[in-house]
């Protein structure tokens, strides 16, 4: 009596579930991108309304865990402005903004660190754990990751045109990034999740804009991609159509003619600084779209606005 297993005749292509075939075709389309990015680093700035939606947070965590599983090293930098504002309001601490930056006194800085390094950071670590990954929650203060310097801003009087310096308090920007802890974590199979807080050489703790921090980290790691997840599809032209591929000269032109304005300007400045400092490319895309990052990475069309250095070449 034979013990050999008997196999039914294979089904014809017509008999297969179309959804199964579609999944196989999707994996096949993704193969060259999987090969291209194996062992590379992606820095992802996670923020906006996606942070307040549990389903989108779950999707984001699954995407990050998938990237790690296929051999890509994701590094996550998260924001938390709305959550800081809510906590300040709850505690009765008044705050105001200048040029989009929160004026941060000592009490506000302490609350910001509590919210960013505590509640938000550990919640995101928890989402990644629930998706089957292992995340390490840190801030820029840990292992000297980010050294910050105090941000200085000037305003011009509209009548006299005299510029004066304004004090934003404990608002900083990265002056140095030491990625040692990120390499150590990634090599150990961990996904770094970073709160945008840094220590200054003066001993003070500084709140850092999350986009700016992500850009500095992407540059230091020579990342393959910097992703800025936002609440818009990407950079739009005057007819509200998505611009899919931009260079610094394009951005300067679009800013000069008023196409790019408001909060998109500092985001694109961050992207340009990152790609000019060694990051391969940056992408602005809509974090409200489920799995937008995977669509951008693993499909030929992409899903957002790609920013590359002026002399960069090759396919998206």
pLDDT digits (tens, 9 = 90+) for 49-101: 777 788 999 999 999 999 999 999 999 999 988 888 889 889 888 877 776 66
Task: Report how far apart, in Å, the C-alpha atoms of 270 and of each of 109, 147, 148, 165 are.
Answer: 23, 17, 16, 23
Which residue in this structure is represented by tokens 């400045």? Answer: 269
Per the domain annotation, does 113 fall within a domain? yes
Which H or E element spans position 315? none
Determine the Cα angle at 89 with ends 88 and 95, to 5°. 60
Written as six digits, the tokens of 25 are 């075709």
Q: How far is CA 7 from the centre of its chain?
A: 49
pLDDT digits (tens, 9 = 90+) for 132-147: 999 999 999 999 999 9
DSSP 13: G
Q: Provide the domain limits for residue 237.
A: 72-307
Q: Does residue 42 surpass a pLDDT of 70?
A: yes
Neighbours of 273 (CB within 10 A): 17
Question: Taking the complete model, does pTM exceed 0.75, yes or no?
Answer: yes
Written as six digits, the tokens of 275 are 């790609």
Beta-carbon contacts of 252 under 8 Å, excluding residues fewer than 6 positions away, are none
CATH code (residue 96): 3.40.1160.10
What single string gives the DSSP state of each residue in 184-229? HHHHTT-EEEEESEEEETTS-EEEE-HHHHHHHHHHHHT-SEEEEE
Instruction: Give phi and psi for 53, each to the nearest 5.
Output: -110, 110
Per the domain annotation, does 130 fall within a domain? yes
What single string gives the DSSP state of each residue in 56-78? HHHHHHHHHHHHHHTT-EEEEEE
Per the domain annotation, does 194 fall within a domain? yes
Per the domain annotation, does 198 fall within a domain? yes
b/e map 94-127, b = 16+ CB within 10 Å:
ebeeeeebbbbeeebbebbbebbbeebbeebbeb
Residues pairing with 306 in the sheet: 245, 283
Per the domain annotation, does 44 fall within a domain? no
Per the domain annotation, does 314 fall within a domain? no
Per the domain annotation, does 57 fall within a domain? no
pLDDT digits (tens, 9 = 90+) for 234-263: 899 888 999 999 999 999 999 998 888 888
pLDDT digits (tens, 9 = 90+) for 137-177: 999 999 999 999 998 877 666 666 677 777 888 999 999 99
The answer to whether residues 168 and 98 touch, using CB atoms and an 8 Å cutoff, is: yes
Percent of the chain scoring above 70 in pLDDT? 90
Per the domain annotation, does 210 fall within a domain? yes
Count of the separate structural domains present in the chain: 1
């Amino acid at each position: 009596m034979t013990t050999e297993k008997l196999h039914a005749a294979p089904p014809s292509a017509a008999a297969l579930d179309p959804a199964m075939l579609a999944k196989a075709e999707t994996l096949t389309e993704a193969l060259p991108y999987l090969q291209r990015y194996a062992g590379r680093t992606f820095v992802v700035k996670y923020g906006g309304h996606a942070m307040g939606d549990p389903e989108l947070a779950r999707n984001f965590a699954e995407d990050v865990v998938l990237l790690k599983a296929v051999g890509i090293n994701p590094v996550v930098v998260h924001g938390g402005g709305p959550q800081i504002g809510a906590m300040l309001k709850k505690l009765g601490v008044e705050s105001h903004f200048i040029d989009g930056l929160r004026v941060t006194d000592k009490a506000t800085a302490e609350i910001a660190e509590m919210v960013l390094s505590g509640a938000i950071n550990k919640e995101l670590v928890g989402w990644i754990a629930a998706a089957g990954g292992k995340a390490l929650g840190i801030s820029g203060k840990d292992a000297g990751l980010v050294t910050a310097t105090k941000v200085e801003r000037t305003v011009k009087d509209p009548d006299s045109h005299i510029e004066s310096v304004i004090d934003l308090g404990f608002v900083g920007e990265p002056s140095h990034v030491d990625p040692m802890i990120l390499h150590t974590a990634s090599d150990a199979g961990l996904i770094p999740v970073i709160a945008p807080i840094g220590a200054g050489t003066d001993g003070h703790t500084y709140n850092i804009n999350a986009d700016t921090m992500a850009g500095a980290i992407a540059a230091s790691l020579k990342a393959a991609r910097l992703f800025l997840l936002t609440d818009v599809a990407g950079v739009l032209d005057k007819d509200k159509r998505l611009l899919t591929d931009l260079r610094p000269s394009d951005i300067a032109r679009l800013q000069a003619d008023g196409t790019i304005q408001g909060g998109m300007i500092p985001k694109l400045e961050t992207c340009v600084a990152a790609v000019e400092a060694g990051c391969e490319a940056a992408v602005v895309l809509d974090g409200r779209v489920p799995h937008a990052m995977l669509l951008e990475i693993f499909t030929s069309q992409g899903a957002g606005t790609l920013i590359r250095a002026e002399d960069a070449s090759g396919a998206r």
